[in-house]
Every structure is written in C-alpha cells, then in structure tokens.
Amino acid sequence: MSFPWPAGSATGIGSMPGTDIAEAQRIVLGELPDLPHLPELPERGPGADMIGRGGAFLVELPIELYAARWRVAARPGHDLRVALDYLDRDLDTMTELAGEYSGTFKVQVPGPWTLAASINLPIGGAVLRDPGATRDLAASLAEGVRLHIASVRARLPHASILLQVDEPSLPAVLAGRVPTESGFRTLRSVDVNVARSALTSVVEAAGVPVVVHCCAPSVPLSLLSSAGVAGVALDLSLVGDLDAVGEFLDLGLGLFAGVSGPSSAAMASTVRDLWRKLGFPATSLASQVVITPPCGMARPAQLKALRDAGRRLSEE
C-alpha cells in the first residue's frame, strides 16, 4: 500500500506553546523533517485559538467575540481581522522558512462539526442548533479550505500537501451531548448521513489527502472512512474498540497514533503492541502509522522523541 507520507515518520498535531511563530516553525522543520506541519500558537490569544483560526477560513460568514465566545457577526470586524492577521503572518513565515521544502507538509483546519458546536448564532445558542445555519457554515468552510490549500500549494510549490481536519466535538455531536446555551439540556443529535455529507464536502474541496483528528472517545471510524479520508489521528489511550480500528486500517487507510511516554522506545513499544493486537504484519507498520502526540501543545523535546519513535518503527 502507498500512503501520502514517508514511512517511519512523525508529526505534530498542530498546537505548540509560545508566541513566536518563526521559532515554532524552525523547531518543527528541525525536529520533524519527514512530516513537518504549520504550527498553531493559541497562547497568542483570541484569533490564534482553534475556533478563531477556523473563523479565518470561513467565506462570507464573519465571526466575532462576544462574552468570551465566538459568534456569527453581521459584518467583518476587529476580532476577525486579528484572526486573519495571525493566519497571514503564519503563512508568510511558513513560506519564508519552508518555501523550498519538497516532502509532505501538513496544515490543519477545524472541522465543520466542531465549529458548528463552538460558534454561536447572533441570537444565542450554537450554530449546531439550526440545521440551515449549519449547512451554510459547512459550505463556507469547504470553500475556505479550497482557497487555503490553493494558497499553501502556491507558497510551497515543491511540497505535497496533507490536510488535517480537527473534529474533537464530532462524537458529542453525533451522540447528542453538545450542551445548550443554558447548560441544562443538550442539542439534538445529528444524523450520521448529515454528518458524513458535511465532512465529505470539506474533504472533496481540499483536493489533497485528508486526515481527521479526534482526541475523544468513540470516534466514528466508519463514518470517516466513508467520507473519503486518507487516515485518522487518535489518542491511543482513548481507543476502546480495537475491532473498529482494525476494520478502518484494513481498508488501507492510515493511523496517526497519538502516544506519550517517558522515552521514544516506550512510545514505539506502545504502537507495536497495538499493531500486534490488531493482527497486522509488522512489515506494514512503519508505512501505515505516523507517530504523533496525543493532542496539541507538544514541546521541542517531545517532538524529538516522537521523531525517534517513528524511526524505531521503520527499523523493524
């Protein structure tokens, strides 16, 4: 099987500590040379957080901060300009430092269901509570993703682009566990076919291989595989249904294995143990699996350990 990333590679999930994007990008390129990514620095404040960054990708659907939450706005304002400025600066830094990179390079965007569960309507309550508004948001994001990938491709002309779609809220959306504004009730669950349609629209708009990241229990792997993804990024400590993981991988899809541990050897051992339990041949491990942190905020020493763990897998 052929995968759109190098065998024995490791990568970050996205978020890193600090506020200096140039330093963060240099660290990523130095410590994760086989599969670097565009770092995200949420410690810079609103607009650099995951939802604010997501708002920068929405087309003709401006958002703003109100009572410390993001909501749909009547027109673009200061908060959106800050988010767009952070994105532009990050992309300019990426271009300057990685413009000649010729391998696979990963960028990240929040998914439609996480955004719908996290952005409020102007009248209050999550966009998720309004099916029409949710469809509009998904369509807006799909167009924004198309434009973003085109921009990254132009900036990194020698690289192959891989897109990570962050969907930590997807299991809660499907299970009807997203709270209402009051917090006393939950919003109605979303039909799996509706959820699949929105994700598929983003995957198709990207036009590059897509990995969905979900650091939550009960990740809907069958939904993701039918949406056309190339792989899934999971926190291995939260994986409960090994049969579902095995079925997903048996389709020839990839696993971004989120692991932590005291050493690179311990991380590699965790992944090998899972692979043996699943019953897959050791020869396919390094090509089908990418090592990652369980979630974001990986520090330089962790990235180095992840890189070494990935290379240990390729030495099997």
Q: What is the pLDDT along the chain (316 residues), one digit of tens a residue?
A: 789 999 999 999 999 999 999 999 999 999 999 999 999 999 999 999 999 999 999 999 999 999 999 999 999 999 999 999 999 999 999 999 999 999 999 999 999 999 999 999 999 999 999 999 999 999 999 999 999 999 999 999 999 999 999 999 999 999 999 999 888 899 999 999 999 999 999 999 999 999 999 999 999 999 999 999 999 999 999 999 999 999 999 999 999 999 999 999 999 999 999 999 999 999 999 999 999 999 877 888 999 999 999 999 988 6
CB atoms within 10 A of CB 184: 7
Q: What CATH number is attached to the domain comprising 140? A: 3.20.20.210
Residue 222, pLDDT score: 98
At residue 295, the pLDDT reads 86
Q: Is 247 part of any domain?
A: yes
For residue 254, what are the β-bridge partners?
231
Measured in degrees and rounded to the nearest 5, phi and psi for residue 177 equal -110, 10
Residue 103 lies in a domain: yes
φ/ψ (deg, to 5) at 244: -65, -40
Q: Residue 1: what pLDDT?
A: 74
Give a yes or no: residue 12 inside a domain: no
Residue 1 lies in a domain: no
Specify the pLDDT at position 182.
86
Ramachandran class of 202: left when φ > 0, alpha when ψ lies in -120 to 50, beta otherwise: alpha
pLDDT at 183: 85
Q: How far apart are the C-alpha atoms of 181 and 33, rounded to whole Å? A: 43
* pLDDT recorded at residue 77: 98
Burial of residue 79, with CB atoms counted within 10 A of its CB: 0-12 exposed, 13-18 middle, 19 or more buried: buried
Q: What is the pLDDT of residue 297?
A: 78
Spacing of C-alpha 257 from chain mean position: 13
Name residues whose C-beta falls within 8 Å of residue 212's C-beta, 6 or more positions apart in sequence. 111, 164, 165, 166, 167, 170, 199, 224, 227, 229, 231, 232, 233
Is 86 a member of any domain? yes
* 110 domain residue, yes or no: yes
pTM score, whole prediction? 0.97
Structural domains of the chain, count: 1
14 domain-assigned: no
What's the pLDDT at 316?
A: 65
C-alpha distances out from residue 69 to 45, 53, 62, 162, Å = 13, 13, 14, 30
Domain containing 50 equals: 21-314
